[in-house]
Structure 1
């Protein structure tokens, strides 16, 4: 079964010029480029709200380390490999942040951290996260910032100052990459799920393995919002999908019966 990244990787390989790809790969494998390990592993700052803000920040860090071309390489790579998908990816990540924030506000930090599929464990005053080596770090009076990522399955803990500790984790919406990459395979003629409930409704079910709004679904599936809304109404009424209002938006996701249906017939 293809990973969520398969279609994106194929598209990126076609879009990124070979010379640029070779340069990025060579740079990543050089042992004398410590900034690849440290300079870009910084704690996100809400004040940097745009890509240009982030690039300017990176450029300052790289130039202070004696390197003037890496920020330009990152920007060039971004434009070819990620820019075409960014509006959809950003919308998906914003939904992730809203979903986690709502859980935090309603049920508290313990419940929110517990939803990260066992990746972290919060037992006051200790926070335990999986890591590739044993590491104990004492942090006092520090904020914990959670950073959802579409491109990393592992948990990463990093800090740039004594006031903030950040932890990245794989967002629930990573499967969304299947629907934003242009070369995803078409559904086979013998799609059992589509034969049972129709191709449109089958697409909606497959896209609801993570919480999504009606607008996000319509955009990613290329369907009219009214059509998606109709499918969601039927799926919710039959108990296949749950519906939850978070803030000013309504999210939908597969319920247990929906996941069971997808497992049995989703191929």
Structure 2
């Protein structure tokens, strides 16, 4: 368990950032942890990754993930994501320059090769989903303040002033005093949490609410299912709305993307919200909707 005692100054300094490198580390930890079947929503992605990554490369990187004893991997786990570095190449180049002479070029090359096979083909969709997450959490941070944002994080992250706690494979207690606090949404934080801390900055991954989106990242998934079981159960209109709500959206944005009348979308959202499939949240002058856990489960079971 991680326990962070956060002072006022650090609380006001909270920032959100994305990290392809941290996603890569998280995905490797998932593959190292599960040699056979994996839990939802990772089944489709793992099946595709195991097919796409050459067996020798897969064995090598999984062993690296088990050991984590190379200098480069230690630096990678201690790396603090920065919005100025938006690609895996940017992050690896930063680590190469910062730790020149102490790193492991072979390990960096293996990570990059693994990324190209396992994550790069899906990264545009994953990045868009994570960017939606940052936008949504950022709105909460700006409108309702840091404590409201922390109180709503997923993955059993708990905020009880002044302590932030989260599951972790080690038992750690840290004081965050006059330092930056960086939160990194991750599709893979449900499997493993990346955490680093020093006197200047504390950074931690957390489970993105859109993690359920991973169920659709399957290489052999047909774009138009021959039999739409979800539509048969709840109707084609509501099925379209559910599929479109894997990231937070407003009624207007949803209607525009689906080509439906706003009144029709509002009616569908009302029913889906009432049944607990979709959650509703007002931020400033806008109302956002997104699938709740039961909605992601419904999509997982019947969305194929």
* TM-score range for the pair, normalised by the shorter chain length: 0.7 to 0.9
CA offset at residue 198 of structure 1?
A: 2.4
Aligned pair in 2 of structure 1 residues 132, 204: CA closer, same or farther (>3 Å)?
same
Corresponding residue to 1:91 among 106, 119, 128: 128
Rounded to whole Å, the distance in 2 between the matches of 1:228 and 1:181 is 28
Distance 1:78 1:182 in 2: 15
> Any gaps of 5 or more consecutive residues in structure 2?
1-37
Aligned residues: 267
- Give 1:98 deviation, angstroms: 0.6
Contact 1:12–1:81 (8 Å) recurs in 2: yes
Give the Å deviation of 1:167: 1.6
In the other structure, the counterpart of 1:60 is: 97
- Note the C-alpha offset of 1:28: 2.8
Q: Deviations over 1:72-101 (max 9, x none)?
A: 111111111111111111110000001111
- RMSD (Å), alpha carbons: 4.7
TM-score, normalization: structure 2?
A: 0.67
Query: CA offset at residue 214 of structure 1?
Result: 8.3
Higher RCO, 1 vs 2 (CA within 8 Å, ≥6 residues apart)? 2
State which drifts further: 38-47 or 117-126: 117-126
Between 215-224 and 240-249, report the one with greater CA deviation.
215-224
Are the structure 2 counterparts of residues 227 and 13 from structure 1 closer, same or farther at C-alpha, using a change threshold of 3 Å?
farther
- Structure 1 pair 222/69, CA: closer, same or farther in 2 (3 Å)? farther
Residue 130 of structure 1: CA displacement?
3.1
CA spacing shift, 1:249–1:67, aligned 2, 3 Å: farther
Q: Which moved more, 1:111-120 or 1:69-78?
A: 111-120
Is contact 2:140–2:148 with CA below 8 Å preserved after alignment? yes
- Could you give the per-residue CA deviations for residues 84-128 of structure 1, whole angstroms, max 9, x where no partner exists? 111111110000001111111111122111111473333443333
Shift of 1:191: 7.1
| Aligned equivalents of 1:182, 1:222: Cα separation in 2 | 27
Is the 8 Å Cα contact of residues 130 and 155 (structure 1) preserved in structure 2? no
Q: Is the 8 A contact 2:72 2:108 kept in 1?
A: no
User: 1: CA distance between counterparts of 2:55 and 2:264?
Assistant: 41
> Is the CA contact 2:72–2:103 (under 8 Å) kept in the aligned structure 1?
no
When the two structures are superposed, what TM-score results if normalisation uses the length of structure 1? Answer: 0.74
Structure 1 unpaired stretches of 5+: none
Compute the displacement of 1:160 (Å): 5.1
Alignment of 1:217-228 (within 5 A): none
